[in-house]
Amino acid sequence: MPERDRGLSVASLSVRFGGIAALEGVDLVVDPGEIVGLVGPNGAGKTTLINCAGGQLVQSSGSVSLGGESLDGLPPFRRARRGVARTFQRIAVFPELTVREHLFIAARARRRSGARWSELVDRGRPDTDESDEIAATLELVGLADRADAAVATLPLGACRLVELGRALIGRPTVVLADEPSSGLDARERATLATVLRTLPAQGIGVLLVEHDLPLVSLVCDRVVVLHLGRVIAEGPFQAVMADPAVRRAYLGQVA
């Protein structure tokens, strides 16, 4: 696939904290409409990679691009407007706002119709297009029946679905999802899997960091395994999990 047609591309990415290499020469591509699982033991560098892609962390060397255009040096909000959306390992929501208000603010911010927080919140009700998009997203993530509930009243699993809905409402090119199944019950996890599998048909790529291997097996087209900041395997889930190096590093088994 020509570089200009690709989604997210990470090239020779390295991150050092003092003398410690959190990432070392990582190459990774998420094409449009592809779900890539990023797995590995704790401390492998998964969240560090997502933070570099999202702009929350500046890499020591290497590059991040979207559709062949460099994202290097851009802050997170500019990357979001380029089409990079994300969810966080630690929930990042506003407890006093309702689920609907979270999606409304996200929709308006992506349309650049508010330059400041006060303008985003205070400029009246959603227009027809915004209302339709919000309603469709609420249905997609299974929160239509809790649309007007304050997020502070919701359990952790529902808050993660709020984050996912907020990421999706802007019609991103790629979603960086950092352990979105954490804290979800069985019903919510099934909803998450269903939502993720709808995204490829919309041309949305997903980089999914997960410890839930059954979920990764179910939804991912391809898996990349990190260990000690390096890619040690890449390919279909079953083949990668059978790799002796992965079994030693990730599953703690001896080949």
Using CB atoms within 10 A of its CB, is residue 54 exposed (0-12), middle (13-18) or buried (19+)? Answer: buried
In this structure, what are the phi and psi dihedrals at residue 48, rounded to the nearest 5 degrees? -60, -40
CB 27 within 8 A of CB 214: no
Q: Round to the nearest angstrom and report the end-to-end CA distance of the chain.
A: 35
The per-residue pLDDT for 114 is: 47
Q: Any idea what the Cα angle at residue 98 is, between residues 159 and 154, rounded to 5°?
A: 35
pLDDT in tens, 166-215: 999 878 999 999 999 988 888 888 888 998 999 999 899 999 999 899 99
User: b or e along 21-35 (b: 16 or more beta carbons within 10 Å of the residue's beta carbon)?
Assistant: bbbbebebbbbbebb
The per-residue pLDDT for 35 is: 97
* Cα distance between residue 117 and residue 123, in whole Å: 10
Instruction: Show the low-confidence residues of the chain (pLDDT under 70).
Output: 1-5, 111-125, 250-255
pTM for this model (two decimals):
0.87
Query: Is the torsion defined by CA of 222, 164, 39, 7 positive or negative?
Result: positive
Fold of 3-249: Rossmann fold (3.40.50)
* Cα distance between residue 4 and residue 58, in whole Å: 23
Q: Which of 29, 6, 2 is nearest to 224 (CA)?
A: 29
CB 113 within 8 A of CB 202: no
- Segments making up each domain of the chain, as ranges: 3-249
pLDDT in tens, 231-249: 999 999 999 988 988 888 7
